[in-house]
A and B are shown apart, each in its own frame.
Chain A
Amino acid sequence: MVAVTARTIVKRFGATEVLRGVDVHVPHGGFAVLVGPSGCGKSTLLRLLAGLEEVTSGEIRFGDRDVTGLAPRDRDIAMVFQSYALYPHLTVRDNLAFGLNLRKTHPATIASRVAEVSAMLGLDHLLDRLPRALSGGQRQRVAMGRAIVRRPQLFLFDEPLSNLDAALRAQVRVEIRKLHDQLGATSVYVTHDQVEAMTLADQIFVLNRGVVEQVGPPREVYELPRTRFVAGFLGSPAMNFLDNVQVAAGGLALPGGQTLAIRDSAQFGSALQPGRTVSLGVRPHDFVVRPDAPDLVVDVELVELLGPELQIHARLGGAPLTVCLDSQSGVARGDRLPLAVRALHLFDPATGLSLRA
């Protein structure tokens, strides 16, 4: 178990700058999730931590040890790959024992560790099979087992669930978190799936175009996004944005002539100067039906039933808006829906930064 610190990491591939001065700190035993869209540099950052790529500049420390220039094998890490990367010519047993064999661990120790891990992951009956005779879920487990069996200081996960079907993904996600709590090892996990990010992380690092846009516990990053990008990236369905909204006396002038009153204007400090143009963000789940004193009224265009909730596609003075309500709320196509807003976000249209004070 070790704390991971990466300072001002820059990584260039030729002329392309993939990481532009990234700082990461994961405390001893922490579970950090690197999340972001394709090409944001999250996998590259993980590979730098693994030592599979060399940093262009910057420093990586595991605890008080500078590992920046060390080869992967000298870093005492384990990694679970997206493709699982099981050795195709070796049985499950030999796959699990591979790293221990390389380190010349005593055969009796290897046998007991393999037995322990295969019991933990339910792999006992598969030990003599080759990877090609395993299902996707089983391969994933072997990949996890191969990481666990070495008892490394740091676990690295590179989108380990993306090749599983939805049901299995949810199940393995829970197992990964349980294993982490059980083993207590520091983990860095890369995903583009925000559900994985939200559910697994102690700390989420949201990356965009080679920089960390925001770091924090999942709830904080979700509820108090620091940039418009973070606000739009986390949450499903994505946050609604209304651009070119004018700050008026007593609220925000919405498209279509309605005015949205801001109840807790103190949170935005001095940013709400009348006449200023802002971008307004409201999460689909932050709307509630309020027939008596609505904040705004929208026109319902389409209603989708998603089981427990309705996903409503509506228009507010021509601008599209997604609203999620309880499936019992009885909203139908063509309704004029009176809504109150529980929480709203304001962003500077030029910089994309949150206007929250």
Chain B
Amino acid sequence: MSPSGQGRKVSLTESIGAHLLLVVAVAFALYPLLWVVSLAFSGAVEPTPRVLPVPLEPTLEHLRGVAFSTLEVPGEPDRWLFGLQLANSIVISLATALVGVVIAVPTAYALARFEFVGKEGGVRALLATQMFPAVASAIPLYIILDGLGLLGTRSGLVLCYATTAVPFAIFQLRGAFETIPRDLEEAAMVDGATRFEAFRKVVLPAARPAIAVTALFAFMSAYNEFVLAHTMLGREEMYTVPVVLQRYISEFSADWPKFAAGSLIVSIPVMILFYIAQRHLIAGLTAGGVKG
């Protein structure tokens, strides 16, 4: 232990000061969130300006209203609209993460390990695509999807998201593969593995935390994306949740309680995902511990 750390007692005043500071910081971060919670559970029609985010006339009405919204189709039984929309979001985001990782893993590995003609040029081109905001590609993507007949479909949107998810994942994973010592693969190959076996049995497990983090990022960016979803999806039952939420706020009226209730509900899958992935997330943050 260092001499300064040894025996140095934190005084009570210092401790109280530090905790007060932390409380203020936490309150600052949580305050808007608490307002969302408060709004979602408030029965009062017009939220009145006040300091403390306590629900007025607590009710579950907005949550129910959002969660059990239905689609009325003449001549058919009503369909559970919000369920469809949430499923759209989850399916599209999962597919984006999957496509991103499946394409990026071999690409990133090749970029990290092999020398080949056009490698540097290719990497620069990939990097260049990251410089443009996704919105800039909205119109070309719209035209392409229209040409492919994929406009308004989930696969079309996954294709759009992949255009940004794949390059990002490649950069993430290339860095991760570069931190894995070549010796590991070479040891595996001397031990009797083909290069592919060395990749599958040694490199992939060592890169698992990085792959998990990359997949999570791809999922999150797809799950939260609004502009492309709003542009490409025309019918209500194809909407993803950001589009659904936006529709509670229109030019002439804003249904803030429903917006807040919707926000809470759509956060749940993300929270579950983070909970499942947190072990990998932490391992991902401390990556580099892979050296044998």
Contact = CB atoms under 8 A, between A and B. Distances in A.
A72 B186 contact: yes
Interface in B198-221: 201-202, 205-206, 208
Contact of A52 (B186, B192, B291, B292): B186
Interface residues of B, number: 22
A290 B291 CA distance: 56
A110 to B, nearest CB: 13
A189 to B, nearest CB: 15
Given A52-B186, A73-B194, A103-B192, A87 B291 contact: no
A149 B35 CA distance: 64
A102 B192 contact: yes
Interface string B97-114: 000000000000000000
A98 B183 CA distance: 15
Contacts of B201: 98
A89 interface: yes
Contacts of B190: 50-52, 72-73, 77-79, 156
B193 A87 contact: no
A100 to B, nearest CB: 8
Contacts of B37: none
B47 interface: no
A292 to B, nearest CB: 59
B46 interface: no
B292 A88 contact: yes
Contact of A85 (B184, B197, B205, B289): B184
Interface in A73-116: 73, 77-79, 81-89, 98-99, 102-103
A132 interface: yes
Contact of A87 (B184, B186, B194, B208): B184
B189 A52 contact: yes
Q: Do most interface residues of chain B lie in helix, strand or loop, or is the interface mixed?
A: helix
B158 to A, nearest CB: 31
Given A81-B183, A83-B181, A85-B183, A99 B191 contact: yes
Nearest to A74: B192
Interface in B157-196: 181, 183-184, 186-194
Interface in B268-292: 289-292
Nearest to B205: A89
Contact of A88 (B186, B189, B191, B291): B291
A72 B198 CA distance: 12
A87 B202 CA distance: 7
Interface in A110-164: 131-132, 139, 146, 150, 156
Contact of A150 (B181, B189, B191, B193): B191
Contacts of B289: 88, 132
Nearest to A83: B183
B183 A89 contact: no
A83 B292 contact: yes
Nearest to A86: B292
Contacts of B206: 87-89
B189 A81 contact: no
B288 to A, nearest CB: 11
Contacts of A102: 191-193, 197
A83 B187 CA distance: 10
A40 to B, nearest CB: 20
A71 interface: yes
Contacts of B189: 52, 71-73
B283 to A, nearest CB: 11
Contacts of B183: 81-83, 85
A167 B187 CA distance: 27
B292 A98 contact: no
Interface string B34-61: 0000000000000000000000000000
Given A52-B186, A88-B206, 6 more contacts: A79-B186, A79-B190, A83-B292, A87-B184, A103-B192, A146-B187
Please name the 7 residue pairs, one residue from A and one from B, whose CB atoms are nearest each other, closest first: A99-B191, A86-B292, A85-B183, A85-B187, A102-B192, A89-B205, A73-B192
10 contacts: A50-B186, A52-B189, A77-B190, A83-B292, A87-B184, A87-B202, A87-B205, A88-B206, A131-B292, A150-B192
